[in-house]
Amino acid sequence: MNQMPVLAEAGWFAAIRQNVAPLAVPAAPLHAAAANPRALDFRDVWAHTASHDGSILTVEGEGRLVMKTAKIVSSMVLALLALPLIALADTTVQATLSGYDEVTTLSSPASGQFKAKIGPNTIQYELTYQGFTDPDTQTVVQAHIHFGAPGINGGIVLFLCTNLGNAPPPPASVTQVCPQVSARLTGTLGPADVVAGATSQGISAGDFDAVVRAIRAGAAYVNVHTAARPSGEIRGQLQ
């Protein structure tokens, strides 16, 4: 460990320089400090203390300058830099759909699954359903994401598919047609796809961030509607 001469001026400072060859502290500022303790300009020391290994110039004890490695500081910086990446990480949500989660509760032979990955301004989803055994009454007519807590019906915020001609107009993306008995649907939704079905509940058309907050809070569900059960035959809470 290299040591610098004792300074009369007590205090602390640190300097980190990268990829710069080691330079000696010029004698003039230190000689000036011996004659006049307040003549030493710390900027001179800052400008002439550097190392290849990322060391830090610090003050210890009674103003003694020493060189210390910057491993702890480097670790802290890396940890702080990682925080935004964690915050921006994609969120994965899913739901298992059945008639038992409908309001009012239903007994249905049908079932479904929903998976989605929420990224910046996008929701990439996959919806599957099956088991609609009566082609006359159990034909699927539409499916959505609704804003509502468990056991409570709420307004539509995103369309997944529809056969009723009620799809949101542009600039929303094109809404898929619902296969009537079984299906595997995939797609990507964004801010333009958020409809005004939950405006009275506080989510306006286009308010994608509010929809994402609701989903992450467990206050949204997927609902598949049939001709026999227009208010919904199978439902699952997103979590």
Decide if 10 contacts 59 (C-beta within 8 A).
Answer: yes
pLDDT of residue 90: 80
57, 87, 117: which is the final residue of a domain? Answer: 87
CB atoms within 10 A of CB 221: 30
42 in the same domain as 108: no
Quote the number of domains for the chain. Answer: 2
- Residue 55 and residue 36: Cα distance in Å, rounded? 28
Identity of the amino acid at 44: D
131 in the same domain as 219: yes
Output the six-digit token pair for 178. Answer: 């619902």
134 in the same domain as 199: yes
**CA 62, 65, 70, 74 torsion: positive or negative?**
positive
Identity of the amino acid at 149: A
Identity of the amino acid at 8: A
140 in the same domain as 69: no
117 in the same domain as 227: yes
3-state secondary structure of 37: helix
Count CA within 13 A, CB hemisphere, residue 186.
2
3-state secondary structure of 71: helix
pLDDT along the chain (239 residues), means of 10: 42 39 44 46 41 44 43 45 48 97 96 97 97 82 98 98 97 95 96 98 98 98 96 97
pLDDT of residue 89: 58
- Looking at residue 231, which CATH number applies to its domain? 2.60.40
pTM: 0.65
135 in the same domain as 97: yes
179 in the same domain as 102: yes
Residue 118 bridge partners (DSSP): 91, 123
CB atoms within 10 A of CB 181: 16
Q: Provide the residue range defining the domain that includes 132.
A: 91-237
54, 87, 120: which is the final residue of a domain? Answer: 87
102 in the same domain as 58: no
205 in the same domain as 123: yes
- Residue 99 and residue 93: Cα distance in Å, rounded? 20
208 in the same domain as 107: yes
Output the six-digit token pair for 201. Answer: 């509940």
Decide if 190 contacts 183 (C-beta within 8 A).
Answer: no
83 in the same domain as 163: no
Apex 207 CA angle, 149 and 234, nearest 5: 35
107 in the same domain as 181: yes
87, 102, 122: which is the final residue of a domain? Answer: 87
